[in-house]
Structure 1
Amino acid sequence: MVTAALRAHGLASCTWPAAQIASELVAVNATLTPQKDLYLSLRHRDDALRLLVWDQHPDHAGPGAAGACAQRRRRALRLLTAVVDDWGGEWGVCRALAPHRWHKSWVVMAR
């Protein structure tokens, strides 16, 4: 779907990295939040491609558990990191702001 959407909007040059990034974001977030809904957003704005995934991963009670979980998520996204770095983008994970809940993983790549 990502590839089809990008081609339909004249962004075919971005299809390989965007499809790989979307696949990695969805796969890792689905693994961290099994049997929970995920939301994927793909936008082209200000000559940059933005991919976001909101997941339902709950907050952890203690800072040690939260830090370990963040490390596990970053390790799981090593392939995403390589693709984003190679294409000159940036990525991160943060707490989602209202109206969304839980966590947001995002990637921004200049076109």
Structure 2
Amino acid sequence: MRPKGHAGSGGERRLALSLTLPGDLRSARIARAAAVAALETRGLNPYVWPVTHAVTELVAVAAGMSPGMELYVSLRHRDDAVRLLVWDQHRHHAAPDLAAVCETRRRRALWLLAAITDDWGGEWGMGEAPQPQWGTKSWVMLPR
């Protein structure tokens, strides 16, 4: 597995890594190892600690919300920031009360992600995937 990337303007090291993983808790380990290898290969070592935790948390929660279904993981470095996206296939609930409970459950499970992202001055969020897709897209942006 080799991340795609090239030096951008001003010598910036770009990174583009995408993975499709099974909806299994063990996928968090695979995503973590791939993210670390990609960051180190591109010389983005300062991001290893927060991204390791972020990808582990996002993939583990996504796998728990949609067991047995595929997860998509994307890691990018552009404009002096790392962007991480995890997309799972947990469908949106039609009943508003059930949708609110589900979102609250997911947010509570991501408390460590929230703390790390805040500590790094980054942002994170989640939302329903746009049509015609379905599922939930969770993301993190960590500035340099």
TM-score (norm 2): 0.74
Deviation at 1:98, TM superposition (A): 5.2
Determine whether 1:72 maps to 2:111: no
In the alignment, which of 20, 32, 57 is matched to residue 24 of structure 1?
57
- Is 1:49 the equivalent of 2:82? yes
Partner AA of 1:37 in structure 2: E
TM-score under structure 1 normalisation? 0.95
Q: Could you tell me whether the CA contact under 8 Å between 2:62 and 2:88 is conserved in 1?
A: yes
Q: Which secondary structure does the structure 1 equivalent of 2:138 belong to? A: strand
Structure 1 or 2, whichever has the larger Rg, is: 2
TM alignment of 1:86-105, pairs within 5 A: 86-97=119-130, 100-105=133-138
Indicate how the Cα distance of structure 1 residues 101 and 78 shifts in structure 2: closer, same or farther if over 3 A, else same.
Answer: same
Gaps of 5+ in 2: 1-33
Deviations 1:6-64 (A, max 9, x none): 01111001001001100000000100111111000000011110000000001102111
Paired with 1:99 and 1:81, the residues of 2 have a C-alpha distance of: 29
Distance change >3 Å, CA 13–CA 76, structure 1 → 2: same
Q: Distance in 2 between matches of 1:97 and 1:61?
A: 15
Rounded Cα–Cα distance in structure 2 between residues aligned with 1:6 and 1:36: 27
Instruction: Compute the displacement of 1:3 (Å).
Output: 0.7
- SS, match of residue 85 in structure 1: helix
Q: Comparing both chains, which one has the higher relative contact order based on Cα–Cα distances under 8 Å and sequence gaps of 6 or more?
A: 1
The unaligned stretches of length 5 or more in structure 1 are none
Give the ranges of 4+ consecutive aligned residues of structure 1 lying more than 6 Å apart after TM superposition: none
Distance in 2 (CA, whole Å) between partners of 1:12 and 1:2 is 11
Matched residue of 1:10: which SS?
coil
Cα distance in structure 1, aligned partners of 2:130 and 2:74: 15
RMSD: 1.1
